[in-house]
Structures are given as C-alpha cells and as structure tokens.
A = this chain, B = another copy of it.
Amino acid sequence: MLFECGFLVFVINARGEREEFDEGKVLRTCIRAGADRATAEEIAHKVASRVRDGMHTQHILKMTLGLLDKIGKPEIAAKYDLKGAMMRLGPAGFAFENFFAEVMQEIGYATKVRQIVQGLCLTHEVDIVAETKDQERFMVECKYRNYAGDYVGVKDALYTYARFIDLTEGHIAGKCPRFDGVWLVTNTKFSSDVEEYARCKGMKIMGWKQPKDASLSELIESKKLYPITVLRLIDNFAQKKLASAGLLLCRDIAQMSPEQLRNLTGIAKKKANTIVDEALKVCGVE
C-alpha cells in the first residue's frame, strides 16, 4: 500500500521473503470470496490501516478473517482462507488426491484414486486414473505440499513424465490400458522450468494459481468446490468424522439436512446444525 506520505509497507510472506503489502490483493480476495464491492473495500481499507512494516502475511490473514467475522460475514472469511483450507487437508497427501478426484468428477471425468497399474518396466501407483466419456484416459499425479511457501520442482515433473512413458510403453506391450495424457497437480506452485517442460512435453499442469486461466483455485471458486476444511465452525474431531464418511466438499454437506449428517457421521445435533448452516452459507444457499 501507499500511505499518503508515499511510503511503501513491506511484509514477510510464507517463504520468509519481504514483499510489498498489496491492499488490492485483500480487496480482490474478498470479492472472490463472495463479498460485495463496498464490503471488500471496507475490509481492505481497515486491513491496510493496521498493517505495519515487517508484519507476517499469516498475521495479516488472521486480522482480515477477524474483521470479516466482526462484520457478520463468516462465510466470506471461510472462502477468503481457501489456501489455508487446502493446507488443512493434510498432512498426508491422500486427502488431496481424494479431493482432486472429486474436482475432476465435477468437470466431467470418471475417477479412481490410487490405482496400481503395470507399466513396461515397473508397477506404478497412479494417484488418480481419470476417464472422459469418450474413454480418453489420463494419469494424474498429485503433489500435495504442507507448506504454503513450498513448490514443485522439475525433478517431480521429470519423474512423472517418465512414469507416463513407462505406461505408454506398457500399453504397447499389452500390459496396461492406454493412457492418453498426463496431469501434474499441486496445491502450491510449480517452478518456471516445470511450466516450460510441461508445455514442451504436452503435460497438463494445475497449481494453485497456474495456469492463469485454469488454476486450481479458480476451478474451486468458479464451481464452488470448497473443501470441508474451509468451514470455520468445525473442529478436528468433526473434520475426521466427515472425512471418514467420504464427505470432502462443502457442497455435499449443504445438500443434506442436519439429521442426515448426524446419521451419516454420528456428529452431535447442535454441531451438525452449525456445520450444515455454515456449509449452506459458503455455497451461497441460504
């Protein structure tokens, strides 16, 4: 931000680097999370007035969420922290694999997670096998990262491609079905050489903000495929119960009555009411 006197404020991001505080980013994220322009401007302005040089972005996030709660918009707070919600899927990668499989189903693929497939030389565990209605089949490798500043580097892209090659050769040798393409997906970022390599090899990549026109965050927001971890009135215990019942998306909960949720998960009545209510708000159904 620019103060009236013209000084820039620098904050510390998840990677521990100094970066210029950007009031516009708060504004845009509020709008993406469902706030109207006036609310978004109010929040962004309040946050900007409280930010101090050297503040950690994590601290600024908490402050923003607190402000959204305060003005009676917890459902916007929930979606505002979508990146954090992805981090709460972990620590193991399988929850992200399950989540992304559901995302793929939403965009028209039939999916199976963690499939053992025999290639030419090796047996591979494919994170997601995804098929279109026209029986095009894709190998999807998920790289889940627990740390927001982390990224997926070129070695991961190379070995993913080598697996795809082994499956392609495996198909020619009659060992496995045909795979028509390969995806590499992450909840964080890809390094620039991964982008270059993927473009060159025809490997599809999807990261939190990559590619610009079809990123994971954009897909989640546009299709309202919010993971249950965006819900802020949910504790670890309830989160586990929901996950055990195969409930990964807010939308699935928003479509239920509290009674159905209780029967499916064993979550207590009051808590089930709260969860369904928040899920409805997050999904924009009131």
In the assembled complex, A155 has its CB within 8 A of some CB on chain B: yes
At the interface, is chain A mostly helix, strand, loop or mixed?
helix
Asked if A158 contacts B154 (CB within 8 A), the reply is: no
In the assembled complex, A87 has its CB within 8 A of some CB on chain B: no
Known A122-B193, A122-B196, A200-B120: A159·B165 in contact at CB below 8 Å: no
Q: What is the minimal beta-carbon distance from A83 to any residue of chain B, in angstroms?
A: 27
In the assembled complex, A137 has its CB within 8 A of some CB on chain B: no
Q: What is the minimal beta-carbon distance from A163 to any residue of chain B, in angstroms?
A: 6
The residues of B that contact A166 with a CB separation of less than 8 Å are 158
The residues of B that contact A196 with a CB separation of less than 8 Å are 121-122
Where the two chains meet, the residues of A that have a C-beta atom closer than 8 Å to any C-beta of B are 120-122, 154-156, 158-159, 161-163, 165-166, 193, 196-197, 200-201
- 20 residue pairs from A and B, CB less than 8 Å apart: A120-B200, A121-B196, A121-B197, A121-B200, A121-B201, A122-B154, A122-B193, A122-B196, A122-B200, A155-B159, A158-B158, A158-B159, A158-B163, A158-B166, A159-B159, A161-B162, A161-B165, A162-B162, A162-B165, A165-B165
